Amino acid sequence: MIYPQLKNTPIKEIIFSISYEEIVDKDCFDKFVNLDSIKNNFNDIKPSVTNEFEVSNGGVRILKDNSGFHLRNKNEVLQMRKGSLSYHHLNSYRGFGEILTSLLEYWEIFDQITKDNLTITNISVRYINVIEIDKSNPASHLVQLYPKQSDDREVLNFQSSVRFSYKDNSDFIVNAVSTKPKEDIVLLDISVSSKLKPFGENKIDLEKQFLPLQNIKNRAFFDSITAKALIKYINQEN
């Protein structure tokens, strides 16, 4: 389906992620972040800690994994965790294909360092939108996930979460969340994920696997905003 082109979009952060099955040695993460090409692109590289919760008869135990890294520059973040690699684009819009190209470039470098045919289990895209609201444009006039607001009440805060799949694309899971963290904005957080089936000895064509997610995230976004919001972003200049 063809969707309208917006002169301005409410997108503030875009995240593309790849999850894999194997436990990669910390040495591989260290080699990756010490490559000249990586250090030249990311001026802020820090170790990251992931907490895991283990439940047993003795209670809950927190396990800390510090093998990952958080890499950042002005408009990009690369998050490396146990079992996943995610690429974030911040502060502005960037085309789906461009972001996918960047993610796959970093993934290819990482894959070469591990020297292993990593078993990819899941891929996802996530778009975090910030929608400005005011008294003449309350949340329910712009975001359809949020229940209609009557004139005799002022909603101070809310959170709405919907997890679903389209019947004609049931292999893809959509998670759409709308929240009102501040008086003048609504966050519309839309993610689309797909579990990948084993491909045997054949290498997965990741670009081919990611491409269907683009149309589904577009569909979910336009299903989540009102006609009034659509007119606003079609007419509003950057």
83 DSSP assignment: T
Q: Is 69:85 a contact under the CB 8 Å cutoff?
A: no
Q: What is the pLDDT, as a whole number, of residue 148?
A: 63
Q: What is the pLDDT, as a whole number, of residue 145?
A: 78
The residues, any chain, with a CB within 8 Å of residue 84's CB and separated by 6 or more, are 17, 18, 19, 20
Q: What is the pLDDT, as a whole number, of residue 107?
A: 97
Q: Is 212:192 a contact under the CB 8 Å cutoff?
A: no
Q: What is the pLDDT, as a whole number, of residue 158?
A: 79
Q: What residue spans define the domains of the chain?
A: 1-14+124-237
Give average pLDDT by consecutive 10-residue segment, the chain, 238 residues: 86 97 92 96 89 66 75 96 95 93 97 87 97 89 76 74 93 94 93 86 86 96 94 80
151: left (phi over 0), alpha (psi -120 to 50) or beta: alpha
